[in-house]
Amino acid sequence: MSIRNLMAFMAFSLAAASIARAELAITVGNVNLEAGASGYVPVIITGSGENLSTTNFEFQISTMGATRLQFQNSPQPMDDPTFSNTSYVFSGNSTTYAINDPMSPLGTTGNPGDPNDQFFTGGDSALSGSTTMSGTQLLLVDIPVTTVGTGTPPVPGDTFTITLLSASANTYFLDDNSMPLAFTSTPGTVTIVTPLPKPLLGLLVLLGMLGLVSRFYRRPISNLGE
């Protein structure tokens, strides 16, 4: 290999490595959800070296069966668990939280007509500056989902896939210069499980309390005043 070709190859390798480091990774969590219940699916964003100023996303929920799991609108910002999580990507620096407009939550739902497809669209931005991604896993959004009032409620054993629609015009991530950042995404799965019987749940709570009491009384008398 000639010196010129070697230098060109090294320049290309460095450029490729730079692009790889500038790529965000979006990962949808895998969650077990009780039949007849509602809950949240966490979505994690990871990067290294990027200055992230804006997030915009569109997720789709789908299943191969007849039963349905649905997205819900995010709660009002003051009640949204996303913002109370210190790992949120714009923790303490969220435009949505600062405005606290109940008509503009972090994410909203839509249904284009397919009973097995649901869409969750939203986003946020840094109130000032940006968030510097340092390789730490941060929370992008807690997506609210429900098995209640879906027409054909899911049953234990049903599974649903939640995917970030990478090609959607509603999905993009911008740096502090309003330039788009490259990203990859990994879908997640919601598995419907059997609800824990209430008597059994009460028994588990009681056993836990008895364990604490037993531990207390096993302490030496000399330590009771500490």
Same domain, 166 and 215: no
17 domain residue, yes or no: no
Same domain, 185 and 209: no
97 domain residue, yes or no: yes
Same domain, 185 and 224: no
Dihedrals φ, ψ of 111, to 5°?
-140, 110
13 domain residue, yes or no: no
Rounded CA separation 69/31 (Å): 13
Rounded CA separation 133/179 (Å): 15
Could you tell me the pTM of the whole model? 0.78
Same domain, 188 and 214: no
List the end-to-end C-alpha distance of the chain, in Å, as a whole number.
Answer: 75
pLDDT (0 to 100) of residue 59: 97
pLDDT (0 to 100) of residue 8: 41
Q: What is the span of the domain harbouring residue 210?
A: 198-226
**Residues, the chain:** 226
- Here the CATH number for the domain that contains residue 114 is 2.60.40.680
166 domain residue, yes or no: yes
Same domain, 78 and 141: yes
4 domain residue, yes or no: no
pLDDT (0 to 100) of residue 214: 56
Same domain, 103 and 157: yes
126's CB contacts (< 8 A; 6+ apart) are 52, 53, 54, 90, 93, 94, 95, 176
Same domain, 163 and 185: yes
8 domain residue, yes or no: no
Domain count, the chain: 2
Same domain, 57 and 69: yes
Same domain, 225 and 177: no
Residue 165 CB neighbours (<10 A): 16
Tens of pLDDT, residue by residue, the chain (226 residues): 455 443 443 443 444 444 434 599 999 999 999 999 999 999 999 999 999 999 999 999 987 778 889 999 999 999 999 999 999 999 999 999 999 988 889 999 976 556 667 899 999 999 999 999 999 999 999 999 999 987 788 999 999 999 999 999 999 999 999 999 999 999 999 999 998 776 644 555 566 666 655 554 555 544 444 4
pLDDT (0 to 100) of residue 3: 54
Same domain, 106 and 211: no
Rounded CA separation 100/106 (Å): 10
Rounded CA separation 89/51 (Å): 11
Same domain, 137 and 226: no
